[in-house]
Structure formats: structure tokens, C-alpha cells
Structure 1
Amino acid sequence: MLEAVLCDMDGTLVDSNALHAEAWSRTFAHFGIVVGFDEALHQIGKGGDQIIPTFVSRESLPRLEKPIKEYRSSLFHREYFNRIKAFPGSRELLLKMRAVGLRIAVASSSEKDDLEKLKEIAGIADLVEKETSSDDANQSKPEPDIFQAALDRLGVQPAEAIALGDTPWDIEAASKAGVPTIAVTSGGWTEEELLQAGAIEVYKDVHEISEMFTKSRLNRREVAA
């Protein structure tokens, strides 16, 4: 029986992936590392612990990892965070989930303090029962730690949950935790890419899921093995 939905935040409920990508690209440039916008965009969904080693050599990582994290965080909060907007339909979709008895957890690679603000931006703070952030994980997505923590906090089994995300990293992380994923293309990945990554359904955005809710797997109380 489907009991819970584990929702990603960035690129799924709020329109922030392009902002994150630009901030990462600028950050790497500051340290003399060339990372294009598209390269950065296709890393969004991971946490900094996964993104930085993708572009920084193993030899330089001990010296650069902390300064890069600190620079990016400062830049993003100073120039980008206040530009984040909710995707239309975010609150409406979660209201429909609650109406059919589903419990909701947010499972995000964002830091805890940022996650609280993002819930307010999305207008969903009163609808979310539990949440997990990068602070709750030894490793961020695509490792399963964040989704596993969400399952544990809700007290549900993987077979009783569905994840909602926008990147292959969400799908991979959820799959490692034993949870199937419904995906949206609003984060910058194509339907084909998300299906190839293992998504069980793909929609344009959360508004489309809300409009098609009665036909969605979210409106069913059983999750196929």
C-alpha cells in the first residue's frame, strides 16, 4: 500500500536549478576551474560533497573543497536565493496528496536552514510531516542516505513510498533506498533521460501532475514491485 511521498525540493517544487548551476559555474571560475553552465546544471540534485569532486582533482580536493563550499554558499545566498520561486501547482499537488491520505516528507540535498525557507517559498510548510536535508546524510544524492532518513522518520517501508524528483540523481538515490520515482522535467532533464534513469512516470512539472492526479500513480494506494 502506498502510504507516503518523499519530495525533492530544488527543480521539483521550486524553480532553482538554473540559479544553482550559475552559482556553481561562477564559483569554479573563481578558483580557476572552467565549468560551463550546462555542465553544472546536470550536476544539480547532488550535494556539494558530490559536485566538487566531479570537477576538482583528487590532489587539489583537500585544499579546495572547503573554500569552494564556503564561496558558493556565500555567493548563492547573496545573489540568488531571493530569486527562487515556487513552481505553479506545488501546493495544490501536495494538498491532493494529503486528501487521499498520503503522508509527505521533503527529502532534499539542501542544507537544513535553506530547506525551511524553501518550504515557505513553495507554500507547503504546513503540509509536510517530516523532512531530511544534507545535514541528515553522510553522503548526498545520488547516495540513498537522504531518502533512507526520510523513510526512517516517517516509519514507512520502501514499498510503501514513492519519491518525487527532477533529476537522475534523485531517481538513483531513491532506487538505492528501494523507492520508485515519479519525475518532472522542470529541472532541466528530458523525459527520455528520466525514463532511462528509471522513473516510473514523467510529467512536465508538478502542475501537470496535479492536473492529471487521478491517473497518476500517486492516486493509487498500491506500489507495483
Structure 2
Amino acid sequence: MLPAFPVYLFDVDGTLMDSQADICGAVQTVLASHGRTDIPHEVLVRYIGRHLIEEFVDFGFSHEQAEQMMVEYRGIYAERKHAATKVYPGVASALDQLGGRKSTATTKGTPTTRLVLEQFGLIQHFDHVQGTDGFAAKPDPGVLLKSLEALGARPADCLLVGDSPADMEAGRRAGIRTCAVTWGYGEAGELARWEPDFWIDAPHQLLPDF
């Protein structure tokens, strides 16, 4: 059983929503336009939650090329209108029943995050929406610290809920306790390296009275 926390921070992709088809589809479109059709979906999924520039550089593009490709990605991703994205079963109900204040802590930009939460009917569950806006992405803890600053909260008051090793590392670096979810994109062995404080297999397990 998890204890109750005054503040909860949530990753979005792979934690609240299964968005891999839209994210990876947009990345594949960008890569194909630059002559790369050899990178399978299974590889791209492992990059969800990391900054796109890092991803494109890993695939052999220069930093300058990667910056332009990120701009292209944002346009293509927006055009998809999240048509293949779904909220994970049980997420909405768990958010509705979970006490405490809540914020996102995602690699998406804040405007995109807000639009996605509105589109999928989750926005009302959040006291603050925080994305990665002009600062380093996770595993840097910046987006977590920005969320706490906006809520006037301390790291000791907070639980970070996420699916990736980058989430777990960011939580550790911020001094925030972490909860790894097993339904997302992160591999259990990689998550375990960061010794999450809690593990859950379904959203309702976040509830203190579960």
C-alpha cells in the first residue's frame, strides 16, 4: 500500500496515456524525409520521454540537423491530432479519487501538454500543468523542480509517478520519492537500476486505501 502524499507529479506519455503510435509515427515521418527508414518502432519507443534532439543525434544527425528535425516533428505531431493516443484504463478514475495536489512533469512542452489533457478529459484533475519549456529535459530534474515551485511544495512532500528510467533518475536527482509504473514503455530492469520507492501494476494502486 502506498502512503498518501500532499503532491503528485505525473509523467504523461507511457504513464497517463499510450501515445507511442502518434509519437513514433511522427518521428518515423521525419526520419524518412531525411533518408532514414531503417529504424523500427521498437527502437523509437525506448526514446519516448527523452529530448528529441538527443534522439536524432543518436541516429547520426548533427545537432544543427536535429534542431531542424525537431521543428518538423512538432508540426507533424500536431497534424496527427493525437488520433492514435489513448488514456490507459483506470487512469481517469484513479486521478479522480486520488487526493493531494497534482501536476504534470513531462518532456512535452506545456502548451501541448495542456491541449492533450483537455482533449482527453483529464485537465480537471490537475492543479498545475508543467512541461519542458526551454530547459533541459529529464533525466535533468528541471521540470520536476518547476512543478514544485509552481505549487509551493517541497521535494519531501511529493511522489513522482512515471514509466521510464529518465523519470526515476530525475526524481532521485530532485530528492523526490518515485513510483514506477509497469504498464508503460520502460523496461523493468532499467527502471530497477534507479531503485524506485514504489512499483505499481495498475493506476488504482496509487490510492492509499487500496
| TM range, smaller chain | 0.7 to 0.9
1:124 to 119, 122, 147: 122
Residue 86 of structure 2 aligns with which residue? 85
Which whole-Å CA distance do the structure 1 matches of 2:124 and 2:81 have between them?
Answer: 25
1:72 maps to 2:73:
yes
Residue 161 of structure 1 aligns with which residue? 158
- Is 1:85–1:121's contact at 8 Å kept on the other side of the alignment? no
**Amino acid of the residue matched to residue 86 of structure 1?**
V
Q: Give the match's secondary structure for 2:70.
A: helix
Q: Give the match's secondary structure for 2:49.
A: coil
Which whole-Å CA distance do the structure 2 matches of 1:144 and 1:50 have between them?
Answer: 17
1:112-136, Cα deviation, whole Å (9 max, x unpaired): 221112212442211211121122x
Matches within 5 A, 1:162-181: 162-181=159-178
- Is 2:21–2:85's contact at 8 Å kept on the other side of the alignment? no
1:47 to 41, 48, 51: 51
- Is 2:47–2:55's contact at 8 Å kept on the other side of the alignment? yes
Which whole-Å CA distance do the structure 2 matches of 1:126 and 1:169 have between them?
Answer: 26
Query: TM-score, normalising length from structure 1?
Result: 0.82
Q: Give the match's secondary structure for 1:45.
A: coil
Query: CA-atom RMSD, angstroms?
Result: 2.2
Residue 190 of structure 1 aligns with which residue? 187
Which whole-Å CA distance do the structure 1 matches of 2:78 and 2:44 have between them?
Answer: 18
Give 1:139 deviation, angstroms.
0.7
Query: Relative to 1, partners in 2 of residues 1:156 and 1:212: Cα closer, same or farther, differing over 3 Å?
Result: closer
Q: Give the match's secondary structure for 1:105.
A: strand
**Amino acid of the residue matched to residue 153 of structure 2?**
V
1:86-141, Cα deviation, whole Å (9 max, x unpaired): 1121221112222xxx1111111112221112212442211211121122x51111
Which whole-Å CA distance do the structure 1 matches of 2:192 and 2:60 have between them?
Answer: 30
1:203 to 184, 200, 205: 200
User: Comparing 182-191 with 163-172, which one deviates more in the overlay?
Assistant: 182-191
Query: TM-score, normalising length from structure 2?
Result: 0.87
Which whole-Å CA distance do the structure 2 matches of 1:172 and 1:17 have between them?
Answer: 21
Residue 112 of structure 1 aligns with which residue? 110
Which whole-Å CA distance do the structure 1 matches of 2:204 and 2:152 have between them?
Answer: 26
- Is 1:46–1:169's contact at 8 Å kept on the other side of the alignment? yes
Count residues in correspondence. Answer: 206
- Is 2:9–2:104's contact at 8 Å kept on the other side of the alignment? yes
For structure 2, list consecutive stretches of 5 or more residues without a partner in the other structure.
Answer: none
Residue 35 of structure 2 aligns with which residue? 32
